[in-house]
Amino acid sequence: MFRKILEWLRGRVQVQIGGLSPERFLNLCAGNGLILRGLRKSPEGYQCWMLLPEYREARRLARKARATVRVRRKAGLPFLLFRHRKRKAFAAGILLALGLLWSFSLFLWDIRIEGNTRYTDDSIRSFLSEKGIGCGMPMDAIACEEIEAVLRNQYPQITWVSAQISGVRLTIQVKENFGLLEVPEEDGTPSDLVAEADGVITGIVTTSGIPQVSAGEQVTQGQVLISGRIPLYDDSETLIRYQEVSASGTVTAQIQVPYAWERSLFLETNRVVSRRLKGVGLRLGSRQVSAGSPVGAGAMQYRLTEYYTPRLFDSFVLPVTLELTTEYTYEVQVRRMTEAEQAQAAEQALAEQTVLWEEQGYRVARTDLQRSADAFQLTVSGTVILEGPLGVSQPLEALPEERPEAAD
């Protein structure tokens, strides 16, 4: 593409090569480094394209080779300027357009924000506008270091900011912190790790305390999994006392949870029956001119606005935006779900719930679900076996006091 633009700026011609010895002319062109583009055989000899400076050199070689070189077509900027050399208004228009493009390149016309998920583009652009940074401002007034500093100070969840200018566009790349901002303090209160639900232990790793269960064992809610009371013995294996710690570790188990989901068997779909152009707007920088009906959409209608921004290159956005508002009129159609749609809806609901379980650290080991449908409702019920962490901290219970033995 870039090569074609350069060729158009320099000008090129399509020539017909003939005469007594056109082959010798081709050899001379190759020897002198002339490039013949699109060379092909023709009834009168050969045809090809060459740049305008090369054509002048080719005429000298043609006389030496006793060949003829005739111009069949001309293309490019030099011929266009020569054809319109007497049209002063045309030349003035070209100079004016180039001047406008140059003047547009001195201002900022587009702000692109990348990497943000917690904060929206509109909120960041609004904040920058309050700080005097927006479309239409001079490029030499933009300080990327100051933009990075104010964004980090305003948004605490943004840990890294990079602002750079490319053409007439300001690109802001951010990285947000999704982890913990503070390290939680460990509670050193003596406690046990107990099961918060019934399940089957699949694995246990103890970091503090004494394990009370093993893999494959069935446990019930409230049962101690890791004890925070460690017995201490002397050399004769006599219990001296207990050391109380905060029990901790990783216990995984399979637990059974009930699952119930229902929804209507009927689907509502909106079918567009007509569309009309209701408004046209033109935005130039921060100024906007619009024409059309300002009244909002009525019942069974909605409006959609599309924005068209011309650009010369990816980073050279023109400060003009065309807005087209179309009004759509629709009708609501109600129908009963097919068997395939019922199965798909049930699978999608289970998949969405599975994502929530995975966020809590569980995975679905197996399911036992039944799907049924009556005249109006689709119902899925049953049980799901989840595998994941098990165990919550519970303060240690006081030891029972030992009663003294009766004297003989």
Residue matched to tokens 């080991």: 365
Q: Which pLDDT score is estimated for 406?
A: 45
pLDDT tens for 30-79 read 888 888 888 988 888 899 998 888 888 888 888 888 888 899 998 888 88
Q: What is the mean pLDDT of residues 383-392?
A: 94
Q: Which of 21, 15, 76, 17 lies closest to 46, judged by CA?
A: 17
Reported as a pLDDT band with limits 50, 70 and 90, residue 137 is confident
59 neighbors 29 (Cβ within 8 angstroms): no
The DSSP bridge partners found for residue 138 are: 107
Residue 263, CA distances (Å) to 282, 352, 384 in order: 45, 15, 19
Burial class (CB in 10 A: 0-12, 13-18, 19+), 43: exposed
SS3 content of the chain, % helix, strand, coil (to 5): 25, 45, 30
pLDDT tens for 61-72 read 888 888 888 999
Q: Which pLDDT score is estimated for 266?
A: 93
> Which three-class secondary structure state does DSSP give residue 320?
strand
- Judged against a pLDDT cut of 60, whether residue 28 lies above it is answered with yes
The DSSP bridge partners found for residue 255 are: 386
201 neighbors 253 (Cβ within 8 angstroms): yes
How far apart CA 316 and CA 321 sit, in angstroms, is: 14
Question: Cα–Cα–Cα angle for 370, 374, 376, nearest 5°?
Answer: 120
Q: Which pLDDT score is estimated for 211?
A: 93
DSSP H helices in 34-138: 52-65, 77-83, 88-104, 121-130
34 neighbors 69 (Cβ within 8 angstroms): no
pLDDT tens for 227-241 read 988 888 888 888 888
User: pTM higher than 0.95, yes or no?
Assistant: no
How far apart CA 207 and CA 223 sit, in angstroms, is: 19
pLDDT tens for 300-318 read 888 888 888 887 776 777 7
Q: Which of 68, 69, 61, 53 lies closest to 29, judged by CA?
A: 61
371 neighbors 380 (Cβ within 8 angstroms): yes
How far apart CA 359 and CA 362 sit, in angstroms, is: 7
First to last CA, the chain: 112
Reported as a pLDDT band with limits 50, 70 and 90, residue 401 is low
